[in-house]
Amino acid sequence: QKEVEQDPGPLSVPEGAIVSLNCTYSNSAFQYFMWYRQYSRKGPELLMYTYSSGNKEDGRFTAQVDKSSKYISLFIRDSQPSDSATYLCAMTSGSSGNTPLVFGKGTRLSVIA
């Protein structure tokens, strides 16, 4: 079992739809959870950064963390064609010292105008 599981998609939605992206993980030591957006031929861009369980909202984006279920989600409201990209979940224990990010495979999203 991989440490972080993420459905690679592809996921195709019409413009204006609500998009739900998800990851599950197995390591209970993970405390910090991130969502990155990666456009083709670009590096990952940090979208959301959350600690422990709960919700965080930033504009059209909402990140949810459920540590009891080892499950994280990213919701995109009013999706736009410019949201078409690969979305990567990442997580880390966050302890001092060695804190590598562990990534999912990424979900490829297409928003159709």
Site for another protein in 45-64 (CB under 8 A): 45-46, 49, 51
Q: Which class for 25: exposed (0-12), middle (13-18), buried (19 or more C-beta within 10 A)?
A: buried
Residue 45: Cβ within 10 Å count: 12
The residue range among 12-20, 42-50, 63-71, 75-83 that interacts with another protein, by the rule CB under 8 A, is 42-50
Q: Do 58 and 50 meet the contact criterion of CB atoms below 8 Å apart?
A: no
Nearest distance in Å: CB 104, another protein: 5
d(CA 112, CA 97): 43
Smaller CB distance to another protein: residue 19 or 90?
A: 90
Nearest distance in Å: CB 108, another protein: 9
Interaction of residue 95 with another protein, rule CB under 8 A: yes
Q: Which two tokens stand for residue 42?
A: 């670009």
**What are the b/e assignments for 85-108, b being 16+ CB within 10 Å?**
bbbbbbbbeeeeeeeeeebbbbbb
The residue range among 1-9, 11-19, 59-67, 77-85 that interacts with another protein, by the rule CB under 8 A, is 1-9
Nearest distance in Å: CB 78, another protein: 25
The residue range among 54-62, 65-73, 76-84, 96-104 that interacts with another protein, by the rule CB under 8 A, is 96-104
